[in-house]
Amino acid sequence: MVTIFAIESSCDETAASVCRDGIILSNVISSQKIHEKYGGVVPELASRAHLQSIVPVTDQALKIAGVSLSDIDAFAFTQSPGLIGALLVGAEFTKSMSLALNKPLIAVHHMQAHVLANLIRPIYEKNKIPSFPFLCLTVSGGHTQIVLCESPLSMKIIGQTLDDAAGEAFDKSAKILGLPYPGGPLIDKYAKEGNGNKYKFPEPKIDGLDFSFSGLKTAFLYFIRDEKIKNENFVEENLPDICASIQSRIVSVLLNKLKKASRETGITEVCIAGGVSANSGLRSSFEALGKEEGWNTYIPSFEYCTDNAAMIAITAYYKYLDSRFEDLSVVPSARTA
């Protein structure tokens, strides 16, 4: 029996999880509300909020899992990428526990963990998990990647964004519409009531499996500016259709490249992951495309899509099985190590 305790602190969620033999026993997330009024994450405030939340989140994760610290076989943390001050809080806290309890320390890459969220099985439900090799479209606030995953610890990026991430495309579009940060979930909410074919936005022409969202953002900005000159209430009067239309273009850009990746590699086990995979338009269009293309499709449950520690714990579990441990000199890094 292997019991892992994991911390995630790369951005604005302080999260802790306990995983036993690959099954998640607890997944506690404290989302930092303080950033809302600044329209984006303020790094210094994020670090301070992590310091305040990390002990209560840890206590709760252990309590829900029904384990004590002495039951833990290894301690894991997010090493990179992320905000350096935020990562340091999680890293140093986890190192102290590893040192005090004399148990191995495991460092986890946040983007690898988003992909492996697809290997999480709910406790009583043996739901299907992808077999290897699989493709994963990983879409978050900072990354947009198509990853070819050969085994839990062996994956390579075969396509990625050249500029903005898909999450940024959502958040920046929301900002143009005057919606608060993070705007992705709000675009999703309003889009449910709207017509995604009402307004047409250009599809970027990028070779291969890479993405670009900066041109789409500029086209959207000019479109809204021009419509507001004609009717100053344009946004208020058409919010659902505007949200549905920009969402539908972002989703089609993502899925067209994923389709291309599957056809080029011949891989039909296909997953999505990362914060943007919580988007209902992406989830339903992904399932529909999967049916058309004959894929087996996999989407993590909502709680494992946005930042969470369960994905860090499951990744650490596979690292534990492969004895990939760190000594206490390990340091986090803001960029991918």
Min dist CB 81 to ligand KG4, Å, is 9
142 binds, among ligand KG4, Zn ion, none (CB under 5 to 8 A by kind): ligand KG4
**Which residue stretch of 99-107, 147-155, 165-173, 219-227 sits at the interface with ligand KG4 (rule: CB under 6 A)?**
165-173
Residue found under tokens 């047409």: 200
The answer to whether 170 contacts ligand KG4 (rule: CB under 6 A) is yes
* Separation of alpha carbons 96 and 83, rounded Å: 20
Query: How much of the chain is in helix, strand and coil states, percent to nearest 5?
Result: 50, 20, 30
Q: Which residues make Cβ contacts (< 8 Å) with residue 121, sequence separation at least 6?
A: 22, 23, 127, 129
Min dist CB 110 to Zn ion, Å, is 6
**Are 314 and 8 contacting, i.e. CB atoms less than 8 angstroms apart?**
no
306 binds, among ligand KG4, Zn ion, none (CB under 5 to 8 A by kind): ligand KG4
**Are 83 and 335 contacting, i.e. CB atoms less than 8 angstroms apart?**
no
- Encoding tokens for residue 162? 């050249």
Which residue in 3, 105, 137, 188 binds ligand KG4 (CB under 6 A)? Answer: 188
Query: Binding to ligand KG4 (CB under 6 A): which residues in 249-278?
Result: 274-276, 278
Min dist CB 259 to ligand KG4, Å, is 20
User: Which one-letter DSSP state was computed for residue 79?
Assistant: E
Number of residues that bind ligand KG4 (CB under 6 A): 18
Cis amide linkage into residue 43, ω under 30° from 0: no
Beta strand spans in the chain (E): 3-8, 13-20, 23-31, 74-80, 105-109, 134-139, 144-151, 154-160, 269-273, 296-298
Name which of 148 and 166 has its Cβ closer to ligand KG4: 166
Which residue in 85, 90, 141, 332 binds ligand KG4 (CB under 6 A)? Answer: 141
The answer to whether 185 contacts ligand KG4 (rule: CB under 6 A) is yes
The answer to whether 196 contacts ligand KG4 (rule: CB under 6 A) is no
**Which residue stretch of 18-26, 54-62, 166-174, 206-214 sits at the interface with ligand KG4 (rule: CB under 6 A)?**
166-174
- Amino acid of residue 1: M
Which residues sit at the interface with ligand KG4, rule CB under 6 A? Answer: 11, 140-142, 167, 170-171, 182, 184-185, 188, 274-276, 278-279, 306-307
